[in-house]
Structure 1
Amino acid sequence: MDRLTTMATFLKVVKFANFTNAAEELSISRTLVSRHIADLEAHLGLKLLNRTTRSVTPTEAGLRYSELCQKILGDIRSGEEALAAIRNEVEGEVSILCPIWIGSFGISRATAEFCKHHPRITVKLQFEEPSANPHDFLNQGHDLAIQPNTLRDSSIVVKKIGKIDHVLVASPDYIADHGAPQTIKDLADRECLAKMSDTAWAFENGERIVLKAPSKFASNSVFALRDAALEGLGVAMLPKGIMFDTIAKGMLAHILPDFPLAPRPLYIAFPPGGDIPRKTRLLISYLATWFKEHPSDLN
């Protein structure tokens, strides 16, 4: 029989000096109250209660045991209340893992503004290239992860917080050697430089181009893909926000400008289950609202 339950029953009997009243308080039968007390006495090998036809009073051992029960149950109650407070607190640290290139898209400003509005919450924002394993941010001790890819076959929960426009680019040398694609279908004859997780590129008009595998050059870093495009290795799909200067300086050319790519969603990932701390839920909600109000910061 559950020891904590029998302890709670014993304390009620001591409080009311009566089995029947204790049973009513606990919403259980008098028979079950008697069984709980008998189980305790058998477990301890001691008589805990003196029973008469008029009352029930604790023995000397019963008095000492009631003090122990009060301490144990009180400590458990206090501990659970403290844990509940952690869940609902609006102070403490929230750790976020974010891809390096997304640092150029307002995430730093958004989290800094969050800290300003919630001075008792601290944010630790770490930038590094994402792992192929969607659970790694949790294994590394982070609470959240900014995730530019849809997570397949994962228990990790994601919430969309914005979208990022992408463009196709290639170097002037590559275009001189291979010609500029005139239609989306022309990409099938070009070397496409893609992220390792990409299998196809989608366009706003609904067309898709399936990427050849293996690619001549692939990476999980958009900066590595940009460098490969600069070296003339092929056509790369890159976030629009990091390409303005490179295109403006003529180092890379915008390919198929009349066929815009479908915007890619930006997610924030967090552990499964709805029982996450309030401070973390506040930050998730804040980032979703912030990027909705500042869409230009993602492009």
Structure 2
Amino acid sequence: MDRLTTMTTFLKVVKCANFTSAAEELSISRTLVSRHVADLEAHLGIKLLNRTTRQVTPTEAGIRYSELCQRVLGDIRMGEEQISAIKNEVEGEISILCPIWLGSFGISSATAEFCAAHPKVSIKLHFEEPSANPHEFLTLGHDLCIQPNALRDSSIMVKKIGRIEHLLVASPSYLAARGTPETIADLESHECLGKLGDTQWVLANGDKLPLRIPPKFASNSVFALREAAEVGLGIAMLPRGIMWGALEQGLLVEVMAHNPPEVRPLYVAFPPGGDAPRKTRALISFLGEKFKGRG
């Protein structure tokens, strides 16, 4: 016996004072209405309704039970409405996973601005190097993942929210010893410091440079690659956002400025489905507007 269904039926019978009318309003048969009431009376071991040929009225026990049904069903309805409303309100906690270096791209200030604009929202922004597993941010309990790679995985949704400019850089000492490359053919003879998993560099004009496997130095951290380039291990492709200090101080020099790496997109990854909470959808939309056209 489905208790909630039989309670709903019982309340309708009390309201209509008639089995037939109750059945019509519930869009079920009169026989089923009678069965629901009979099941309740059998379960409780007491008569709930007085039945006559003209109408049905609740007994004393029936009156008390109808009050209980109203409280129970009312609490359930109110609770479900409150839960359903969560996805329509910009409130609650949003947990975001983001590569460390993207903090310099403006993610920190953008999420703080969103938080300030929505007083009922709280943000948890976690910075760490991303995993090769596209689902890890979900298993770790995060709502969103900011990243520079499109995920070809049907169980993860991605939305482009911006662009990231990269530079080819090397230390002055490396260039003094090995020469300054001017073309992609020149690059082939140099030590190219790549991110783990990268197999090629693509330049703005479409030229592609296959990376030597294994490279002299590789890392999943752009900061580690920057430091390797600073000590003269080779040429690195690094996001412009982490380069200002090193370039200004002369620790690194941009090479091939006439044909830099292609601009890479920036994505936000999130769980699939059309019922994402409004807080999540609102933040994704905000980030898209914030970084629109930004390099």
Cross-structure match for 1:31: 31
CA deviations 1:141-166 (Å, max 9, x no partner) are 33222212222336222211100010
For residues 212 and 51 of structure 1, the distance between their equivalents in structure 2, rounded to whole angstroms, comes to 89
For 1:80, what is the secondary structure of its paired residue? helix
Question: Which amino acid in 2 is paired with 1:93?
Answer: E
Question: In the aligned structure 2, how far is the partner of 1:278 from the partner of 1:203?
Answer: 39
Stretch moving more, 110-119 or 225-234: 110-119
Aligned to 2:215: 215
1:134 and 1:154 in contact (8 A); partners too: no
Distance 1:204 1:39, change over 3 A: farther
Shift of 1:265: 0.9
Please state how far the C-alpha of 1:251 moved relative to its aligned partner.
2.1
> How far off is 1:257 after superposition?
2.0
The reply on whether 1:21 has 2:21 as its aligned counterpart is: yes
Distance in 2, Cα, partners of 1:63 & 1:191: 86
Q: Deviations over 1:68-94 (max 9, x none)?
A: 322221121111111123222223332
Distance 2:232 2:43 in 1: 80
Of the structure 1 ranges 50-59 and 130-139, higher mean CA displacement relative to structure 2 is found in 130-139
2:172 aligned residue: 172
Following superposition, the deviation at residue 42 of structure 1 comes to: 4.2
Q: How has the CA–CA distance of structure 1 residues 64 and 214 changed in structure 2, closer, same or farther, with 3 Å as cutoff?
A: farther
CA distance in 2, matches of 1:285, 1:186: 43
Moved more, 134-143 or 218-227: 134-143
Which residue in the other structure is 2:152 paired with? 152
What are the superposed Cα offsets for residues 6-26 of structure 1, whole Å, 9 maximum, x if unpaired?
Answer: 221111011111111111211
Secondary structure in 1 matching 2:182: coil
1:215 and 1:281 map into 2 onto residues whose CA distance is 40
What is the match of residue 274 of structure 1? 274
Question: Equivalents in 2 of 1:287, 1:214: separation in Å?
Answer: 37
Aligned partner letter, 1:243 = M
Give the structure 2 partner of residue 91 of structure 1.
91
1:74-113 equivalence runs, <5 A: 74-113=74-113
For residues 31 and 74 of structure 2, the distance between their equivalents in structure 1, rounded to whole angstroms, comes to 26
Secondary structure, aligned partner of 1:174: helix
Deviation digits for residues 176-203 of structure 1 (CA, Å, limit 9, x no counterpart): 4433333224434433212224232222
Alignment of 1:1-299 (within 5 A): 1-153=1-153, 155-292=155-292, 295=294, 298=295
CA–CA separation in structure 1 for the residues paired with 2:47 and 2:165: 76
| Equivalent residue letter for 1:56 | V
Letter in 1 for 2:102: I
Specify the code of the residue in structure 2 equivalent to 1:103: G
Measured in 1, the distance between the counterparts of 2:217 and 2:167 equals: 18
**Could you say what secondary structure the match of 1:167 adopts?**
strand
The answer (yes or no) to whether the contact 1:174–1:234 under 8 Å persists in 2 is yes
Counterparts in 2 of 1:46 and 1:195: CA distance versus 1, 3 Å:
farther
Structure 2 runs not aligned, ≥5 long:
none
Q: For structure 1, list consecutive stretches of 5 or more residues without a partner in the other structure.
A: none
Asked whether the 8 Å contact 1:10–1:36 carries over to 2, the reply is yes
2:159 counterpart letter in structure 1 = K
Alignment CA distance shift 1:5-1:245 (3 Å): same
Is the partner of 1:145 in helix, strand or coil? Answer: strand
Letter of the structure 2 residue corresponding to residue 144 of structure 1: L
Matched residue of 1:124: which SS?
A: strand
Distance 1:134 1:140 in 2: 11
Q: 1:190 touches 1:234 (CA, 8 Å); kept in 2?
A: yes
What is the CA-CA distance between 1:264 and the residue it aligns to?
0.9
Q: Distance in 1 between matches of 2:197 and 2:46?
A: 67
Amino acid corresponding to residue 193 of structure 1 in structure 2:
L
Output the amino acid matched with 1:153. Answer: D
Aligned partner of residue 88 in structure 1, secondary structure: coil
Contact 1:196 1:218 in 2 (8 A): yes
* % identity of equivalent residues: 70
Over 3 Å counting, the alpha-carbon distance change for 1:153 and 1:280 in structure 2 is closer
3-state SS, counterpart of residue 225 of structure 1:
helix
TM-score normalised per structure 1: 0.88
1:170–1:252 CA contact under 8 A, matched in 2? yes
Post-superposition offset of 1:44: 4.1
Shift of residue 45, structure 1, vs aligned partner: 4.5
Cα pair distance change 1:185/1:20, threshold 3 Å: farther
